């Protein structure tokens, strides 16, 4: 931080830094702006649309991370008892294993992460992420996400 020409350091204890990081990762929709569809579904009401926010995509030597948004053509049941039409999640990509994992998600009543936020899950909570959530993303879209996130590390 700069104050009247002086640089002032703000130190946050490590413990509080991890808490802040956890809170930020539990709110994956914050700041998402540039959505790119990784699948090209036929124009029917029952299609699932999978998108990644290009502004959040971060590529690392062995993987990457980014915010994804999934919109379903029909209401999806959540194990907590509510139904949702879309979710926005933080995804981690493992390029060696060619896998994707979700670390947090927020569920919405309307398509494209719009409308009332109905609930959220995080891998940091006792209940963790719903095991079936990643399986609701069509396999070709999951593969496209991993390929996009891992392509630079394979050159």
Helix (H) or strand (E) holding 4: none
pLDDT reading at 31 higher than 70? no
Residue 110 confidence class, pLDDT cut points 50, 70, 90: very high
pLDDT number for residue 7: 36
Top pLDDT among 62 and 12 is at 62
As its CATH architecture, domain 28-154 has: Beta Barrel (2.40)
Residue that wins the pLDDT comparison between 37 and 29: 37
Contact 93, 100 (CB under 8 A): yes
pLDDT of amino acid 68: 95
Sorted by where each begins, the domain ranges of the chain are 28-154
Q: Are 32 and 56 in contact (CB under 8 A)?
A: yes
pLDDT at 6 over 50: no
Q: Is the pLDDT of residue 12 over 70?
A: no
Please say if the pLDDT value at position 32 is more than 70: no
DSSP letter string, 11-61: ---HHHHHHHHHHHHT-TTTT---EEES----S-TT--EEEEETTT-EE-S
Q: pTM above the 0.75 mark? A: no
48, two tokens: 């699932």
Distance between CA atoms of 130 and 137, rounded to whole angstroms? 13
pLDDT band with cut points at 50, 70 and 90 for residue 19: very low
Question: What radius of gyration, in Å, describes the C-alpha atoms of the chain?
Answer: 17
Beta partners for residue 52, in sequence order:
36, 68
Could you give the percent of the chain with pLDDT greater than 70? 70
Rounded to the nearest integer, the mean pLDDT of the chain is: 78
Cα–Cα distance, 71 to 81 (Å, whole number): 19
Q: Is the pLDDT of residue 142 over 90?
A: yes
Average pLDDT, stretch 65-77?
94
pLDDT at 47 exceeding the cut of 50: yes
Query: DSSP letters along 87-146, please?
Result: EEEEEEEETTTTEEEEEEEEEEEEGGGEEEEEEEEETTSSS-S-TTTGGGS-HHHHHHHH
Task: For tokens 């990509």, name the residue.
Answer: 93
């Amino acid at each position: 931080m700069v104050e009247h020409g002086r640089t002032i350091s703000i130190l946050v204890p490590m413990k509080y830094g991890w808490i802040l990081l956890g809170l930020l990762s539990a709110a994956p929709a914050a700041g998402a702006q540039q959505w790119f569809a990784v699948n090209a579904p036929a124009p029917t009401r029952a299609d699932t649309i999978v998108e990644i926010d290009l502004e959040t995509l971060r590529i690392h030597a062995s993987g990457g991370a980014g915010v994804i948004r999934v919109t379903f053509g029909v209401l999806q049941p959540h194990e907590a008892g509510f139904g949702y039409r879309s979710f926005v999640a933080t995804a981690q990509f493992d390029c060696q294993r060619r896998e994707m994992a979700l670390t947090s998600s927020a569920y919405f009543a309307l398509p494209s992460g719009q409308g009332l936020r109905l609930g959220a899950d995080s891998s940091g909570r006792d209940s963790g992420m719903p095991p079936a959530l990643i399986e609701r993303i069509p396999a070709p879209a999951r593969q496209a996400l991993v390929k996009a996130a891992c392509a630079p590390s394979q050159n």
